[in-house]
Structure 1
Amino acid sequence: MRPRTRISSRSTGVGTVGPSAQRVFGTDPERYAVGRPGYPAGIFDTLAHRCGLAPGTPALEIGPGTGQATADLLARGAEPLTVVEPNPALAAYLRRRFGSRITIAVVPFEEIDLAPGSVRLAASATAWHWVDQDVGLRLIRRVLAPGGWWACWWTLFHDPDDPDDLFEALEPILEPLPTLPGQSRRDRAGAFAFDREARAADLARTGSFDAPEIEVFRWKLELDARRARMLFATFSPILALAPADRESVLDRIVDVVDGQLGGRVMRSCVSILYTARRC
């Protein structure tokens, strides 16, 4: 499957948000790739057992970033795999990382032109909130073969139902940070991802998908001060800061982990997965 695409000179990020929100994730792809963990194996087990992901499955990924999910999709057999990454810096990183194993479309997903019915699995990992939902799901419907699967998921690097010591200790540091254009405090709290009724309603409006199945995965991430710094350096409110301010915030996070939490903390994380079959 080869996408009929064009390079967009005006867009540097997924969806319809403003330029500052679009650019921040491509500031330092190498640092982002090292700092951002992958996703629970259970997500890809579900894609295999429920959605038919197996060797030779033609697949599409929207908003791969630096490829945390891409690597697992390839390992589970996605082939050919087309990824839609409108940020040129991230797209260049993906080319270096995966080479000819993927086809990269450097264009906002809303503007892509893919052959109808050309994939069996379309997926998006912690990126689908950047896409216009009605436009995006119409495109997903178009590109999926009948009986194909749509899967989107997000990770929250804290668990609202299981707050840990780090979450509470960092609240005075993180709460005052400015949001990006197109974001709100509720976005940062994961409201979009965990609004099950709204996500199901988005799919229902298309008239083309079965009711979604929804799974939640709770998991732990062990962080020392260095690892915490690397992780928080991937968060958009921190990435959007001026370099000196960014480093100051990260220094304060290191001080909290080392000074208040004994140098190590077990972070509570939660991931939510939506899967829906195209009728």
Structure 2
Amino acid sequence: MPTLPREQPEPSQPYQASQPSPSHQARQTAESFGADAQRYDQARPRYPDALVARVVADSPGFEVLDVGCGTGIAARQFQAAGCTVLGIDPDARMADTARARGLPVEVATFEAWEPDGRTFDTLIAAQSWHWVDPAAGAAKAARVLRPNGRLAIFGHVFEPPAEVAEPFAAAFRRVAPDSPFSGQPARRPLEAYQAGYAKIADDIRETGRFDAPEQWQYDWQRSYTRDQWLDLLPTTGALTRLRPDQLAEVLAAVGHAIDALGGRFTMHYTTLATAAARSCRR
């Protein structure tokens, strides 16, 4: 499915460490998710509880900075685990929704955000680090983390079955042939996403301010009805920027495909993570 996977790090377009990644340059897309923040908050999946527990257990304390917090989906899980969380997000609409759910948020990109001397035990980025300049982001993370503080970058791999992904891809190409998303394959192998997280680990390693990064993987599944999936789709990638008539045509094609499967399908999720502790040596 072309738009969903591109919310993960993009390994197929190499970039220089000193320059923004292609995803970072697509800031307009990054800031388009707030078009329907309430739907985003209700439809997007949570993160594995085991991942949250592992990050908290490995951190020296309970003060968390959530970069690209969106509506606070991950942040609320860390709050439930006993953490105090501050969110940062460039979209005021997403920030307002997060605040309404009890998360303090400062509106800024991570690159422009001023910590004003504040430091944290943990910095998380849930489905958001690919919008941050990779080299500048890792270096800034080191500056705002306390010694042994934990940097944890994670996100879901969205790859619906071919019976759903291929009708989506065909409809998207039909309604938005000039979109950069139109030339992407309907599905990609998990290894492509793993390569993206390996690149994140390289960026972290190159700062010289973290211990050796770790790579984590959590496999799980969820059943979606037709209506549940069509509720989630408009919150993803390039779909947030389609006209209403274009979006309606894509959703109709996907809905028809799910109907042909009996009105529901099982999504096999993989949640990938790269994590590292800030070195005490620096």
The TM tier, using the shorter chain, reads 0.7 to 0.9
Letter of the aligned partner of 1:271 in structure 2? Answer: T
Alpha-carbon distance, 1:117 to partner: 6.3
The alignment partner of 2:111 has SS state of: helix
Alpha-carbon distance, 1:120 to partner: 0.4
Give the equivalent residue in structure 2 for 1:20: 28
Letter of the aligned partner of 1:90 in structure 2? Answer: M
Give the equivalent residue in structure 1 for 2:13: none
Residues 86 and 242 of structure 1, relative CA distance in 2, 3 Å threshold: same
Aligned residues of 2:33 and 2:235 also touching (Cα < 8 A) = yes
Q: Distance in 1 between matches of 2:264 and 2:54?
A: 32
Q: Distance in 2 between matches of 1:222 and 1:210?
A: 38
Give the equivalent residue in structure 1 for 2:53: 45
**1:135 and 2:150 correspond:** no
Name structure 1 gaps, 5 residues minimum: 1-14
Q: Residue by residue, what CA displacement relative to the aligned partner does 1:79-102 show, whole Å, maximum 9, x if unpaired? A: 1x211111011111111121xxx3
Alpha-carbon distance, 1:64 to partner: 1.1
Letter of the aligned partner of 2:278 in structure 1? Answer: R
Q: Distance in 1 between matches of 2:153 and 2:182?
A: 19
**Counterpart among 78, 90, 103 of residue 73 in structure 1:** 78
Letter of the aligned partner of 2:33 in structure 1? Answer: F
Aligned pairs for 1:22-171 within 5 A: 22-52=30-60, 57-79=62-84, 81-98=85-102, 102-116=103-117, 118-158=119-159, 163=161, 165-171=163-169
- Backbone CA RMSD of aligned residues: 2.6
Q: Distance in 2 between matches of 1:137 and 1:182?
A: 27
Q: Residue by residue, what CA displacement relative to the aligned partner does 1:194-235 show, whole Å, maximum 9, x if unpaired? A: 424312210111100111111111111101110110121211
**Counterpart among 173, 176, 192 of residue 171 in structure 2:** 173
Letter of the aligned partner of 1:236 in structure 2? Answer: G
- Identity level (%): 26
Letter of the aligned partner of 1:277 in structure 2? Answer: A
Please report the TM-score for the alignment, with normalisation by the length of structure 1: 0.81
Q: Residue by residue, what CA displacement relative to the aligned partner does 1:111-151 show, whole Å, maximum 9, x if unpaired? A: 11114562100000000000001111111101100111000
Q: Distance in 2 between matches of 1:215 and 1:152?
A: 10
Q: Residue by residue, what CA displacement relative to the aligned partner does 1:148-201 show, whole Å, maximum 9, x if unpaired? A: 100010101217xxx554334544234565687799849x95856642431221
Give the equivalent residue in structure 2 for 1:277: 277
Aligned residues of 1:84 and 1:106 also touching (Cα < 8 A) = yes
The alignment partner of 2:97 has SS state of: helix
| Runs of at least 4 residues off by over 2 Å | 15-20, 48-53, 163-186, 188-197
Q: Residue by residue, what CA displacement relative to the aligned partner does 1:18-65 show, whole Å, maximum 9, x if unpaired? A: 453143201010111112111111211211333356xxx111000011
Alpha-carbon distance, 1:252 to partner: 1.6
Give the equivalent residue in structure 1 for 2:212: 211
Name structure 2 gaps, 5 residues minimum: 1-22
Please report the TM-score for the alignment, with normalisation by the length of structure 2: 0.81
**1:267 and 2:275 correspond:** no
Q: How many pairs align? A: 253
Residues 171 and 18 of structure 1, relative CA distance in 2, 3 Å threshold: closer
Letter of the aligned partner of 2:83 in structure 1? Answer: A
